Amino acid sequence: MNRERVAGKPRLMVPQTAGFVYCPGCHEPLVARAIAEALEDLGMGDNAVGVFDIGCSSFLLGIMDIDSVIGPHGRPPDIATAVKRIYPSNIVFTVQGDGGLLSIGADPLMGVLARAEKITIVMINNAVYGTTGGQMAPTSLAGQETSTTPGGRDASKHGFPVHAAEMIATFKSTAYSVRCAVNNPYNYEQTRECLRTAFTKQMDGVGFSFVEVLSACPSNWHMSPAASLRWIEESLMPEFPLGEFKNVDKME
């Protein structure tokens, strides 16, 4: 009987060789896979440079077979700017956590938006600082218990969650801004498509593109992988709705 191949490992994903192993149920490797597939779909795997941040996304370096560089925490947008200006025909993208992009690296993010850099930023929104033990991030929900807000995030002391995809959509330099998730096969396929669109905006020279992905961190949410999937749907998505916030073919 002939069997139809319905899924396989993308060529750009490599067996994990580094000492680090992602926690069970972590969605970051799925984001890496979606990026790998989007680059393969576009035939750009050999002409792409990933700039990874300090944080759990830094381990994409060990599982993706693309040219890559790692930056000091929060600085990937600056490095991506330089790489893109030196190699303008390459797809240049960063992968950063919500802490790395919105707090520690808020200044480099503002720089690329102000200068209208034609790069792509992929932000992993797991509502915590994952690598360092689950401290509050700018994206932590109201009432969310984290290691630095053991009584829950209290707006009067800790402020409100930051909506990156909506905020970035307000900049004239932004060609594309979207929020996705990889919590089920449908949303995974949507993420792959959004990444293709984001990279295409860059290849066409339209402007800056941004893809935020809701991502499970079971270890720091203190939940099982299955409970994390439910928490994404019941708690994260109401605060961070999925969808496109900007999609234009010309900066104006």
Segment contacting ligand SF4 by CB under 6 A, of 44-52, 103-111, 124-132, 238-246:
124-132
Q: In angstroms, rounded to a whole number, what is the distance separating the alpha carbons of residues 223 and 107?
A: 33
Task: Print the binding letters for residues 39-58 with ligand SF4: x by CB under 6 A, - otherwise.
Answer: -----------------x--
Q: In angstroms, rounded to a whole number, what is the distance separating the alpha carbons of residues 209 and 93?
A: 9
Binding positions for Mg ion, 94-113, rule CB under 5 A: 97-99
Strands 67-70 and 120-125: unpaired
Residue number of the CB closest to ligand TPP reads 97
Nearer to Mg ion (CB atom), residue 135 or residue 197: 135
Can you tell me which of 57, 58, 120, 126 binds Mg ion, judged by CB under 5 A? 126
Q: In angstroms, rounded to a whole number, what is the distance separating the alpha carbons of residues 16 and 6?
A: 23
Nearer to ligand TPP (CB atom), residue 147 or residue 184: 147
Angle, CA 234 vertex, CA 178 and CA 129 arms, to 5°? 65
Can you tell me which of 58, 81, 94, 126 binds ligand SF4, judged by CB under 6 A? 126
Per DSSP, the residues of 165-222 read HHHHHTSTTEEEEEEEE-SSHHHHHHHHHHHHHHHHHHHTT--EEEEEEE---HHHHT
Decide: 61 and 102 in contact? Cβ < 8 Å. Answer: no
Nearer to ligand SF4 (CB atom), residue 26 or residue 109: 26
Residue number of the CB closest to Mg ion reads 97
Decide: 177 and 244 in contact? Cβ < 8 Å. Answer: yes
Cα 25 to Cα 54, 59, 62, 137, 193: the distances in Å are 20, 15, 18, 20, 22
Interface residue list for ligand TPP (CB under 6 A) = 54-57, 73, 97-100, 104, 124, 126, 128-132, 137
Nearer to ligand TPP (CB atom), residue 72 or residue 143: 72
Segment contacting Mg ion by CB under 5 A, of 28-36, 40-48, 119-127, 205-213:
119-127
Q: Which of 16, 42, 43 is nearest to 28 (CA)?
A: 16
28 lies in the binding site for ligand SF4 (CB under 6 A)? yes
Q: Which of 22, 53, 35 is nearest to 225 (CA)?
A: 22
Residue with tokens 């969650």: 161
Residue 54 interacting entry, from Mg ion, ligand TPP, ligand SF4, none, C-beta within 5 to 8 Å by type: ligand TPP
Q: How far is the CB of 207 from ligand SF4 (least distance, A)?
A: 29
Binding site for Mg ion (CB under 5 A): 97-99, 126, 130
Binding site for ligand SF4 (CB under 6 A): 22-23, 26, 28, 56, 126, 130-131, 217-220
